[in-house]
Structure 1
Amino acid sequence: MFHRIRRRRRAEEEEFSEVQRRAYEAWLRMADQVPPVLQMQQEHQLAEPAPIVDDFLPPELRVPSHDQLDGRVMPWPWPLVLDGEVVACAECGAYREWLILSTHDQVWLRCQAGHQQHETRLDTAWFNRHSGPGDAIHATFEDCLRHLGHR
């Protein structure tokens, strides 16, 4: 019985050594070749460098930064509720259809009648969270009011 086990082990070892021999021969054949990855790297290095191009947008497509603007305005058609209280215009009592202005780290409310009041409970961070992207840039405040349908 032991002689059968020894013969089987010898056969398995010969089989394994044959697989190892083939793998070693394949490795020797490939040792003379350059791997495809290295070939691609060499070709990439031989290619001429890409030209340097100005990647900035043209001036007509650039958006001014916040420090280049005097302020930003957004419409707020709903009632504005702060600290559980509906904010109303101090002069006419209007409580909806606001324009909210953010300028110089202050937030101002402007009603449809044109009355403005400083709102200390709002700050620039609140304005930034609730405003969407701007759709226009205006040279004057009056142009902005006309664009938003206020007088």
Structure 2
Amino acid sequence: MFGRIRRRREQEFSEIQRKAHEDWLRMDGLVPPVVQMQAATEQPAEPAPVVDDFIPPELRVPSHDQLDGRVMPWPWPVVLEGEVVACAECGAYRDWLILSMHDQVWLRCRDGHQQHERRLDTAWFNRHSGPGDAIHATFEDCLRHLGHR
């Protein structure tokens, strides 16, 4: 009894598939009338005007290879490996300028003493620095901008 039911269902299903395939073949290549009307009334579009795709020179930001370095203020103590970094000459331990130049990181205290910090790298600098707010022609201009001497 169940075998007959299964065979009948298979025959009904295959008949439905056959009819759907025939309908699909009949409709192949037909275009709806609405699409035909739109295609007939469309005017050829004018070509788009050619514009310069580049940012104007006054809005361009120089790339990292066009800069001698980048500087950020760091008013807090620099703690590396559980140790507070202090200036080797005057002992200052806060209010640093951190300079990233040529894949090296330097610390500059308020008194103008600079020391190379080997435990910091450019990746650390990039993680902790924000976007630059100015570009300066000289290092002295940058120091004046940040309030250092």
Same fold (TM over 0.5): yes
Segments of 5+ residues of structure 1 without an aligned counterpart are 1-23
Alpha-carbon spacing, 1:52–1:88, altered in 2? closer, same or farther (3 Å): same
CA drift of 1:93 comes to 0.5
CA RMSD of aligned residues (A): 2.5
| Alignment of structure 1 residues 6-17 onto 2, 5 Å | none
Distance in 1 between the 2:59 and 2:108 partners? 30
Equivalent residue number for residue 84 of structure 1: 82
Alpha-carbon spacing, 1:38–1:57, altered in 2? closer, same or farther (3 Å): farther
Segments of 5+ residues of structure 2 without an aligned counterpart are 1-22
CA drift of 1:38 comes to 9.0
Distance in 1 between the 2:42 and 2:89 partners? 75
Alpha-carbon spacing, 1:96–1:43, altered in 2? closer, same or farther (3 Å): farther
Equivalent residue number for residue 125 of structure 1: 123
Equivalent residue number for residue 38 of structure 2: 39
CA drift of 1:56 comes to 1.2
Alpha-carbon spacing, 1:67–1:33, altered in 2? closer, same or farther (3 Å): same
Matched residue of 2:131: which SS?
A: coil
Alpha-carbon spacing, 1:32–1:127, altered in 2? closer, same or farther (3 Å): closer
Distance in 2 between the 1:107 and 1:62 partners? 26
Give TM-score, length-normalised by structure 1.
Answer: 0.73
Equivalent residue number for residue 102 of structure 1: 100
CA deviations on 1:44-101 (whole Å, 9 max, x unpaired) are 8x20121111121111110000000000000000011001101100000000000000
Q: Sequence identity of aligned pairs in percent? A: 81
Distance in 1 between the 2:46 and 2:128 partners? 49
Equivalent residue number for residue 137 of structure 1: 135
Matched residue of 1:129: which SS?
A: helix
Q: 2:60 aligns with which of 54, 59, 62?
A: 62
Equivalent residue number for residue 8 of structure 1: none
Distance in 2 between the 1:66 and 1:100 partners? 16
Aligned length: 122
CA deviations on 1:101-126 (whole Å, 9 max, x unpaired) are 00000000000000000000000000
